Amino acid sequence: MRTLNVALGDRAYPIHIGRGLLAAPSLILPFLRTPRVVIVTNDVVGPLYLEGLQVALTGHGVRVDAVALPDGERHKDWQTLNLIFDKLLAERCERSTTLIALGGGVVGDMAGFAAATYQRGMPFIQIPTTLLSQVDSSVGGKTAINHPLGKNMIGAFYQPRLVLADISTLDTLPDRELKAGLAEVIKYGLIRDPALFEWLESNIERLLARDPDALTFAVERSCTNKAEVVAADETEQGERALLNLGHTFGHAIETGMGYGNWLHGEAVAAGTMMAAELSRRLGWISAEDVARIEVLHRRAGLPVQGPVLPVATYLDLMAHDKKVEAGRLRLVLLRAIGRAVIHGDAPPEAIAAAIEARCE
């Protein structure tokens, strides 16, 4: 097992990464304020891992309740969030009860938002079971639900007390979701870790074959990058926005196509290609760089083009982005492979042309 630290002062917390961690309740017990937890999972992950975790914790005298949400991004809404609150209140959970998210990004985002707001805040633990949530969404305290007009529009910054990334859970992850998670790993390479990008160019097939050492390396290296950025800029006043490479375009794809039809990672991949294309049109990176980025995404089994939506629809959806300031779209673009910047002055025609060039 490897352990990283998210350095946030009195809210610092560890990320444990390794195989078989779910069977080691001793990793969780020190972080419970009282011997009482509620596990939030979904109807796909629950049947695989819930009982084992429940038995392990119960064996140590912890009272465990659980709630299984319907699976998928389309359920990341008020109605589903209320299932968590209903359970917490029906079981008379106190504000000292610990909420545990057992699942992917949707479960983590919703459980985290519930923990942030139930009785104005209860302790929270992330146990991510997808590659995407292990490398990205479980770390850093962003929680949210979607609104019909925009993804992740309603949420809170709320840090977990512990992240437990059990690599073994990736054994059961569907191929499509494994690939989607790779999009966020590639992202770290592109924005700040050129050595990781090169490592991916050499090892992408090992990841697709679920080589445990390669997966562990990818998760650890991604979390290291994420933890550094979050520690420096918890509430996204500056540098943290770079983690959203491809996300402004990507969120437009997810919202525009209906939540869940494109996986988040797939939308980020296509969005990253749009950002790369725009960076090239601004003269910042070469056509060769764009090709290199495209090849890696293709090898990872990820889309390199967005869906065919009118460019006006893309722009309209992007105008809801959280990085918009004084009506101006601020985009994460590339100065090089391994170096991203925030840019608020891309000409609208160039943005439109980049989208156009990257719609199938």
Which residues, in sequence order, are CB contacts of 163 under 8 Å at separation 6+?
6, 13, 14, 15, 16, 125, 126, 127, 128, 138, 139, 223
Told to check if 80 binds a second copy by CB under 8 A, we report no
Residue 73 marked ligand-binding: yes
335 binds a second copy (CB under 8 A): no
Q: Which stretch binds a second copy (CB under 8 A): 21-29, 85-93, 305-313, 331-339?
A: 85-93
89 lines the binding site for a second copy (CB under 8 A): yes
CB 344 within 8 A of CB 328: yes
Query: Please, what is the Cα angle at 313 between 258 and 262, to 5 degrees?
Result: 30
Q: Is 9 annotated as contributing to ligand binding? A: no
Residue 106 is labelled as binding a ligand = yes
| Residue 287 in contact with a second copy, rule: CB under 8 A | no
Q: Which is nearer to a second copy, 153 or 282 (CB)?
A: 153
- The CA distances from residue 274 to 58, 142, 296, in Å, are 49, 24, 15
Q: Roughly how many angstroms between the first and final C-alpha of the chain, as a whole number?
A: 43
Out of 3, 5, 96, 286, which residue is the one contacting a second copy (CB under 8 A)? 96
Q: What is the CA radius of gyration of the chain?
A: 20
Among positions 151, 322, 343, 358, the unique one binding a second copy when judged by CB under 8 A: 322
Q: Catalogue the active-site residues.
A: 120, 142, 184, 226, 236, 240, 244, 247, 251, 264
Among 30, 59, 61, 120, binds a second copy (CB under 8 A): 120
The tokens for 41 are: 């999972």
Contact mark string toward a second copy, 121..150, x via CB under 8 A: x--------------------x-x--x-xx
172 is in an annotated binding site: yes
Contact 311, 216 (CB under 8 A): no
Position 9 contacts a second copy (CB under 8 A): no
* Residues β-bridged to residue 165: 17
Name residue, tokens 């375009």: 249
Contacting residues toward a second copy, per CB under 8 A: 34, 78, 82, 85-86, 89-90, 92, 94-96, 113, 116-121, 142, 144, 147, 149-150, 153-157, 235, 319-320, 322, 324-327
